[in-house]
Amino acid sequence: MNGRYRYLLARLRDLMIAGGVVTAALLLCALVTALRGGVPVWPELAALAALLLMGVAVWLFVARPYRKREQALERMLRGYAGGEEEMGPVTLMGPGDERLLGELRQMLSPSQMFKLNKRQAQYLALQNQINPHFLYNTLESIRSEAMMAGLSSVADMTEALANFFRYTISKVENLVSVEDELQNCETYFHIQQYRFGDRLELTVRCAPEDREELYRCRLPKLTLQPILENSIIHGTELKVGKGHLTIYLQRTGERLLIQVSDDGVGMDEETLARLNGKLGKGGLVGASAGSQRGGVALVNVDNRIRLLFGEEYGLHVYSMPELGTTVEITLPIITSDRDVRNREVLR
């Protein structure tokens, strides 16, 4: 028998079955006696109906909520988010329960988790807490010097880097259009090309008829670039020969699907399972993920998406050794920031 039923529910059920059977048997006996003796039978029938109603009531108001509570707590213990949104209403067994759950929810509220992930994203982008204006000015100076010295490639590279930082450092919590995000990816890729040369190739694909609509969709800032960076560093960089990166956009009635694929070294089944296990937990693994190697950027992006839009959206990774890796991002179709479900976390 499953452990979670060992306690209250099992006792309650046994008690209900035993009590119900005995009472029903007694009532049936009384009914038969009444029928034989010509006595009115309605009291027995009424008692039977009451018994039945009591059974239904116990099931609806005691047993079922208890099972739901068990299910929700088990899910929370397995690492999924514990907010009311994710768990639904939970039946409390006593005042201690209520206090405990309140504390937990406070700790794990979407806004708290989002802030945590936002901080992590900022940290990832700004490892050294550089003053942005100082950085832009310095890069601009380097660019001017390079142009004057006739080093156009250095000037070009510096400009790309300045653009990249300008986009990356400011307001990480904002939603941006797909077009802006793709532009940032191309800037990042442009910078990487100075390192890899022709060894890297990036293609952005979508159905031409959907292009305009797709590019107008909103998504959290820095959703694509960290994934693209992961694809380059963990996928194609380790591969011998040319690496191809693809960003493929498509939409259904309600969802925006973005696939970031590489044809790099891929990963084995165990690593893939571990990585996907970290995703989809709505923020709980965000804080601890940093201690384990790999997947920090993915977990961060996944957490931000889930906290903003709900548990049905997020990231999923597909991979096979020698075949490459695909990260599938699922987002709602949103063209205005007002459509965001959890808008308060953006503030």
Partner 1 sequence: MREEVLRLSEVTYVEQGVVQLEDFCLSVFAGEIVGVLHRSGHGISALIDLLRLNLPLRAGSVYYRGERVNSWRAPGRHDNRVGVIKSQSSLVEDLTVADNIFVLRPGFRSWLVRPRVLAGQVQPVLDSLGVDIRADALVSTLSPFERVVVELVKAVVAGCRLIILREIGTIISDVELERLHALLRRYAQQGISFLYISYHYEELMQLCDRTAVYSNGRIITVLTLKDGDALYGGDYLERVREQLRQSPASRPASSALELRDLRGGAVRGVSLTAAPGECVVLQDLQNLVFGDLISILLGERRAESGEILLGGKPFSPHPTREIAIIRELPDVSMIFPEMSCLDNLCMTVDHRLPEIWRSRRAREGLRREWAQRMGEDVFTLYPDRMTRRQRYDVVYQRILLQRPRVVLCVQPFRGADLDTRMHIWELLEELLHSGAAVVILAVNLADAFTLADRLVRVRRGASCEVYERSEFDRLPFSAPWLNLYRTP
Q: Which stretch binds partner 1 (CB under 8 A): 5-13, 51-59, 94-102, 320-328?
A: 320-328
CB 57 → partner 1: shortest distance, Å?
Answer: 21
Give min distance, CB of 84 to partner 1, in A: 12
Residue 190 or 251 having the CB closest to partner 1: 251
CA distances from 81 to 77, 87, 99, 328 (A): 9, 8, 18, 21
Q: Which residue has the tokens 């694909």?
A: 205
Nearer to partner 1, 90 or 108 (CB): 90
Among 110-118, 234-242, 289-297, 323-331, which window interacts with partner 1 (CB under 8 A)?
Answer: 323-331
Residues 17-76 that bind partner 1 (CB under 8 A): 71, 75
Q: Which of 54, 62, 124, 272 binds partner 1 (CB under 8 A)?
A: 272
- The Cα 299–Cα 283 span in angstroms is 8
Q: Exactly one of 138, 177, 193, 330 binds partner 1 (CB under 8 A); which one?
A: 330
# residues near partner 1 by CB under 8 A: 35
Q: Are the beta carbons of 265 and 235 closer than 8 angstroms?
A: yes
Min dist CB 53 to partner 1, Å, is 23
Q: For the chain, give the longest Cα–Cα distance.
A: 117
Least Å from the CB of residue 159 to partner 1: 37
- Per the CB < 8 A criterion, the answer to whether 206 and 248 are in contact is yes
> In whole angstroms, what is the distance from residue 136 CA to residue 141 CA?
9
Site string for partner 1, 76-105 (x = CB under 8 A): --x-x-------x-----------------
274 touches 300 (CB < 8 A)? no
End-to-end Cα, the chain, rounded Å: 47
Determine if 238 is a binding residue for partner 1 (CB under 8 A). Answer: no
Smallest distance from the beta carbon of 168 to partner 1, in angstroms?
29
Q: Which stretch binds partner 1 (CB under 8 A): 12-20, 43-51, 171-179, 269-277?
A: 269-277
Contact between 273 and partner 1 by CB under 8 A: the answer reads: yes
Number of helical H runs and strand E runs in the chain: 14, 7
The amino acid that residue 102 corresponds to is G
φ/ψ (deg, to 5) at 94: -175, 175
Q: Which of 122, 183, 250, 342 binds partner 1 (CB under 8 A)?
A: 250
Pairing of strands 243-251, 200-206: parallel
Q: In what helix (H) or strand (E) does residue 180 lie, and over which residues does it extend?
A: helix 178-196
For the bound state, the minimum distance from the C-beta of residue 314 to partner 1, rounded and expressed in Å, comes to: 8
Q: Which of 84, 145, 269, 337 binds partner 1 (CB under 8 A)?
A: 269
**Which of 3, 150 has the CB closer to partner 1?**
3
| Residue 341 within binding range of partner 1, rule CB under 8 A | no
Taking the C-alpha atoms of residue 177 and residue 103, their distance in angstroms, rounded to an integer, is: 36
Among candidate residues 69, 72, 70, the one with its CA nearest the CA of residue 108 = 72
What is the rounded distance in angstroms from the CA atom of residue 51 to the CA atom of residue 106? 42
Interface residue list for partner 1 (CB under 8 A): 2, 71, 75, 78, 80, 88, 210, 213, 250-255, 257, 266, 269, 272-273, 276-277, 279-280, 312, 314, 316, 318-323, 326, 328, 330
